[in-house]
Chains A and B, each alone.
Chain A
């Protein structure tokens, strides 16, 4: 069983799969001691006092990433790196890999500090490890922010041990030795490879040489554009996802789900289904009726042969229009009186959006009477492990959770629902199962980015903005994936419950000097499955604001880029905006029906600007034809991966602003696949895209979610300018 689990993240042949069995190797631990510089960076440009300065907002001082870093720090030293006898450097990464490229970026950090060849470093996804506490959570674009210090220290400590072992072997001073290409090299040219030193380094008792991470100016690999470490596996079809895991005898399992969201089973007639050859079990579970068979074609056929009477789910009676009305009446009141001459008011609506990762949800589970093993992609495996243990009635330490590579996530895999279903079915039928959601299951019963309503009033006088009020109301976001526990573990002094409002406070900022700025969120609980969706509140929040900024500029007779430049607080944002304006030829003449649009965003201690050109001659079928993005993440570890994140954010923006969302009709999701949930295709992607990575300016900030808000704003603004309309409801063509 253990061997099968390992197949998920590795490409090496089966004989090498047994993790560490029969091998000597050394483990190194480094204690991460530095204190986090909370509030060390506040986005002000002190030299520019043209606009009315706004007070720092909570997220300027302590943001979500700081909180997650604080929570992860106490156990950072328990992450393990080992050098095996064949010289392979293995690191078990307590994060999810869902395409964001974190395994590549972490391999680069390790190779850099060890002076190892990148191809000698193998990053695996760690099983759920309760002792890691809050250092095994993937979210909030924090992976590089949280791992940057401890991973480099652990690798530097390992290098120290290897150098010490070589010095001892040769009887020379460690200080005269250097490391390169996975070897220790002496002044006279003698070399010892890490493979040759692995065992001695593990057993040496002499004090290792001091192990400080490298100075950034000595980096050879970090900062260099680097391709994915698993690229070859992916292009040859060898990369294993959850449904590709070989677990002997695991039955293909699908679940018949209700027509309404969270509907329940009243009765089921499974006679026809059970009679089908290959059907092994039909099991009632909380979410529907599971059919387990020898293969998926049979399971799917048998599922369709079930006759089920359903009870309506709790969302029956809710439709887009009723939801919109509830949200409208929930927004907090504006405070500044709206005097006609000096106020700009605008209201916006955003539809629900499913995460719709390309790989549908699924899990493999093998639950026995005394132990359980589960494989699935997961951003919060420790919480998941607890929940699974509870569901199958086993002690937590008898439940092994293997984190498999994810075929996309976008926030969806913060939750573990398919793993719970698989574990419960496996327990009930006493056999291993591989449970898969169909695409229709995913679209109709998946989680949703909450619909939101926004009310904004910008009050201006004599060309200055005196006040900027933003009231957002959204269907409540389910944060029951450990957010509250992380807040407590961080020890951060925050007031109030760990709910959406707190999350909002820790993430929402307005990058402009707009006098008195207030951003308030009202969450409205509804019986709908929701979840954090790439950039959480920021995509809608900041898109709405950036549209108002364009409209303010127009009202004041100012150019949108010049107006932003004057009003922006931080030099970093000004710099990325200037970069896209120059590279994207802002202001150039555009034919009728075409236009440019810009947007900026600052979050995760990073900044970005996006400039797009749109062809909206047919307003029903607009196309973004060109995009220029500039991004400053402080320290770009892998510019190639960073550019990919920005491209992905842009495609999310094009999709959700122009065409992709789902409707709720009387407690049901109307759409059922990519056939009607119109995520962008090749024909919607810009023909020309340039992403400019700004030079290093500090520590790494977050990148995974950064690209969405600025690009969404740019697309909306370009559409507005091209069509001379004021878009207020998104997606525009829905």
Chain B
């Protein structure tokens, strides 16, 4: 089996797995990083959303072979130590979460959006496709705007 080397949350990792192994299971089962959640495994729910070189990806549809040398950030790596990312702060202030299961993915999607644009429009926020089965969407919108203002 080939060895794939890349970075997760700033740390160098090496895994021996089949080339088509989805990054989600590499993170969760091989590396014990459980922040990214399984919600569908086929790229539609976005619960697993994480960053690859700063852009949002769904690790359930990214084969590990595409990760060679790349920088992966999961929800666990978003904060700077104890200093939360402004999106996480906003999420707490607006008390966004209900069951919380979709929220790592929502936060990573929002953080990626704010990296692309400082002042996201409602249309850009609407384009986030992450499912929240608890229906926290209005608070998500508020929190994204709050984080944008804080950044």
Judge if A217 is at the interface, Cβ distance under 8 Å: no
Closest chain A CB from B72 CB (angstroms): 14
Nearest B residue to A99 by beta-carbon distance?
B99
Within residues 6 to 44 of chain B, which ones have a CB less than 8 A from any CB in chain A?
Answer: 17-18, 21-22, 25-26, 28-30, 32, 34-42, 44
Contacts of B137 in A (CB 8 A): 647, 651, 680-682, 684-685
Interface 1/0 per residue, B73-109 and A, CB below 8 Å: 0111011000010001001110111111111100100
State whether A439 touches B42 (Cβ < 8 A). Answer: yes
Query: Closest A-chain residue to B98, C-beta based?
Result: A99
CA distance A233 to B136 in the complex (A): 17
Check B70 for interface membership: any CB of A closer than 8 A: no
Is B125 at the interface (CB under 8 A from chain A)?
yes
B115 within 8 A of A: no
* A234-B97, A235-B91 known; A682-B140 Cβ under 8 A: yes
> CB within 8 A of A98: which of B26, B99, B104?
B99
Does A123 lie at the interface of the complex (its beta carbon under 8 Å from any beta carbon of B)? Answer: no
When each residue 119-131 of chain B gets 1 if its CB lies under 8 Å from chain A and 0 otherwise, what string results?
Answer: 0001001111111
Q: Contacts A230-B100, A234-B103, A236-B79 given; indicate if A360 touches B131 (C-beta within 8 A).
A: no
Known A-B contacts A227-B92, A235-B92; A407 and B100 likewise in contact (beta carbons under 8 Å): yes
> Does A586 have its Cβ within 8 Å of any Cβ on chain B?
no
- Chain B positions 109-151 with a Cβ under 8 Å from a chain A Cβ: 122, 125-141
Chain B interface extent, by class: 35 or more
> Any chain B CB within 8 A of the CB of A644?
yes
Q: A588 at interface (Cβ–Cβ under 8 A)?
A: no
User: Is A296 within 8 A of B25, CB to CB?
Assistant: yes
Please name all residues of chain A whose beta carbon is closer than 8 Å to the beta carbon of B138 when the two chains form the complex. 647, 685-686, 689
Nearest A residue to B89 by beta-carbon distance? A235
| A344-401 contacts to B (CB < 8 Å) | 356-360
A19: CB under 8 A from chain B? no
| A669, B151: Cα distance in complex, Å | 46
Once the chains bind, are A358 and B39 in contact (CB under 8 Å)? Answer: yes
B40 near A231 with CB under 8 A, answer no
Is B56 engaged at the interface, CB distance under 8 Å to the other chain?
Answer: no
- Contact status A101-B135, CB under 8 Å: no
B135 touches A673 (CB 8 A): no
Q: A24 in the interface, Cβ–Cβ < 8 Å?
A: no
Interface residues of A in 279-324 (CB under 8 A from B): 294-297, 300
Question: Does A231 contact B91, Cβ atoms closer than 8 Å?
Answer: yes
Q: Is B57 an interface residue (CB 8 A)?
A: no
Residues B131 and A679 in contact, CB atoms below 8 Å apart: yes
- Which listed segment binds B: A48-56, A67-75, A239-247, A467-475? A239-247
Distance between Cα atoms of A99 and B132 in the complex (Å): 12
From A358, A436, A644, A652, contact of B47 by CB (8 A): A358
Q: Is the CB of B88 within 8 A of A648?
A: no
Nearest CB on B from A444, distance (A): 13
Of B92, B130, B133, B136, the residue contacting A231 (CB under 8 A) is B92
A358 touches B88 (CB 8 A): no
The answer to whether B125 and A682 have CB atoms under 8 Å apart is yes
**Beta-carbon contact of B100 and A295 below 8 Å:** no
Taking A227-B95, A407-B100 as contacts, is the C-beta distance between A357 and B136 under 8 angstroms? no
Residue of B79, B95, B127 touching A640 (CB-CB under 8 A): B95
A228 touches B97 (CB 8 A): yes
Q: How far is the CA of A65 from the CA of B35 in the complex (A)?
A: 36
Q: Which of A294, A359, A406, A682 has a CB less than 8 Å from the CB of B37? A: A359
**Chain B: minimal CB distance from A70 (Å):** 29
Inter-chain contact B135/A650, CB cutoff 8 Å: yes
Chain B, residue nearest A276 (CB): B18
Q: List 6 A-B contacts (CB under 8 A).
A: A232-B92, A297-B22, A297-B25, A357-B99, A439-B41, A648-B134
- Top 3 A-B pairs ranked by shortest CB distance? A651-B135, A237-B35, A99-B99
Interface of A with B (CB < 8 Å)? 98-101, 227-228, 230-241, 243-244, 246, 252, 294-297, 300, 356-360, 405-410, 436, 438-439, 640, 644, 647-652, 673-675, 679-687, 689
Taking A234-B100, A407-B37, A652-B135 as given, write out 7 further A-B residue pairs in contact, using a Cβ cutoff of 8 Å, ordered by the A residue number: A237-B76, A296-B29, A358-B101, A436-B38, A648-B136, A674-B44, A682-B140
